[in-house]
Structure 1
């Protein structure tokens, strides 16, 4: 069953984020072939044009490459994949810290909370 989409972001952007998370999480590996546009659209219950736009954005980001007649593949550029991993980490941490600061938590409280969570989830 397809993951739900939120209404605050374009669907193609959410698909880009999903693929990036799958790459960073090891679900998709360097050099692995992505599903065809049509198959990916069916899997995610979206229009093929939306998938085509997501694949184009992933290619623009140098996360995937299209091989004429073969399909779309995760890049084999290890440096780019490491960079993607760092970008996703930084984005998540920044969003978390901004949210916590907006709720009035001090840096010390945030650090203590994170340390507690890390200790619980070893």
Structure 2
């Protein structure tokens, strides 16, 4: 599992968010065993206690559960994970839009920035794929 950590934000919620997103999109399926706390900590470059705390938060929300001496497993709560991801997306969108409004950008300018971002991203992905096939 690849981890994308933002050094400006607390690590624990980021781990929780990333696992929630993987459950919501079906990348992690009900009954699937998660990596161990130690494996996640090593992969993400964080303290195992931080990962344990994130796992406990996910367990409290019913997204994962532990089986004694076997490890952590994805629960059958994909709908809850989708709701969590949606709420997080709405929160991040509101923060982004507030920042754009502080810059006095209009809706049209914001929409243009978003469209431009995705166009650039698609071109980079296309260039990356073409570079790997030659």
TM-score by length of 2: 0.68
1:15 is displaced (CA, Å) by 1.8
Q: List runs of 5+ in structure 1 lacking aligned partners.
A: none
Q: What does 1:1-122 correspond to in 2, within 5 Å?
A: 3=3, 5-114=5-114, 116-117=115-116, 120=119, 121=122
Q: 1:113 to 1:8 in 2, by over 3 A?
A: closer
1:118 is displaced (CA, Å) by 8.2
* SS at 2:33 equivalent: coil
RMSD: 2.8
* Greater Rg by CA: 2
Q: Deviations over 1:28-85 (max 9, x none)?
A: 2333211111222222222221211111112123322223333212221232123123
The number of equivalent residue pairs is: 120
1:119 is displaced (CA, Å) by 7.5
Q: Which has the higher helix share?
A: 2
Q: Deviations over 1:81-122 (max 9, x none)?
A: 2312322321232222122112211223223443x348735x
Structure 2 CA distance for aligned equivalents of residues 88 and 72 of structure 1: 23
1:5 is displaced (CA, Å) by 4.1
Q: 1:44 to 1:119 in 2, by over 3 A?
A: closer
Q: 1:84 to 1:30 in 2, by over 3 A?
A: farther
Structure 2 CA distance for aligned equivalents of residues 104 and 67 of structure 1: 52
Structure 2 CA distance for aligned equivalents of residues 82 and 17 of structure 1: 11
1:3 is displaced (CA, Å) by 4.8
